[in-house]
Amino acid sequence: MKYYPPSNHIYYENSDVAINKLNIKDLKIITEIEKELVIKAYETLHKELDENTIFDEEYLCITHEIIFASLYEWGGKYRSVNISKGDSMFCPYINLESFSKDIFNKLQNDNYLKNYEDIALKDEFVKKLSYYMCELIVLHPFSEGNGRGIRLFFDIIVTFNGYKYIDYKSTLENDDYISASIDCMETDCNRMEKIIENGLNKVTSLH
């Protein structure tokens, strides 16, 4: 689904396709290319992950850049316009920088969620993950690709703590993830928390 208002001039005219470096206008083709790019970005970041990785604002931009920058000019860059989807108006551009700093300062105080390897802390980890995920959804820092960038960001954090990538299962297909995101706009993280709780499993888990 496209962003409105059309001040977000990133799409070809009368099209759902974002203007891209390959000048591809076919939605199916571009969707397939993006899928490949997401897979490659997971592999790259997984490979590069080590003890010193810091999950800060720069890292969020890197996750987005690695997925999208080969295809789109806006890859890895914070937006410079206001955007909305449905009834949701995301963080006003004018507040974007300062709200982002607030979120990442908090995340830094939580040591970037790097201390949640212990399975006994899973409930607390789920709460923290859903809190920060909701905050970043409300922020919606990028012109496009916020969902995939944000999920990749948290998937690398959970990997760091010995978990598999979060399994969002059908919630991405049946729109539960979007409903949970809409709740986030009202600072209600409960549904997102359920989704993450159900989808978070240790690498060693039998399930």
Ligand X SMILES: Nc1ncnc2c1ncn2[C@@H]1O[C@H](COP(=O)(O)OP(=O)(O)OP(=O)(O)O)[C@@H](O)[C@H]1O
- Return residues touching ligand X (CB under 6 A): 85-86, 88, 137, 144-148, 177-178, 181-182, 185
Q: Which is nearer to ligand X, 118 or 186 (by Cβ)?
A: 186
- Report in angstroms how near the CB of residue 119 gets to ligand X at its nearest: 27
Find residue 56's DSSP bridge partners. Answer: none
CA dist 64 and 176 (Å) reads 23
Q: Measured at CB, which residue is nearest to ligand X?
A: 147
CA dist 95 and 103 (Å) reads 12
Among the listed residues 156, 168, 166, the one whose alpha carbon sits nearest the alpha carbon of residue 64: 156
- Report in angstroms how near the CB of residue 145 gets to ligand X at its nearest: 4
Q: Which is nearer to ligand X, 86 or 92 (by Cβ)?
A: 86
Identify the three-state secondary structure at position 85.
Answer: strand
Q: Which is nearer to ligand X, 123 or 188 (by Cβ)?
A: 188
Identify the three-state secondary structure at position 199.
Answer: helix
- Report in angstroms how near the CB of residue 41 gets to ligand X at its nearest: 12
- Report in angstroms how near the CB of residue 52 gets to ligand X at its nearest: 28
Q: Which is nearer to ligand X, 6 or 121 (by Cβ)?
A: 6
Diameter of the chain measured on Cα atoms: 52
CA dist 43 and 89 (Å) reads 33
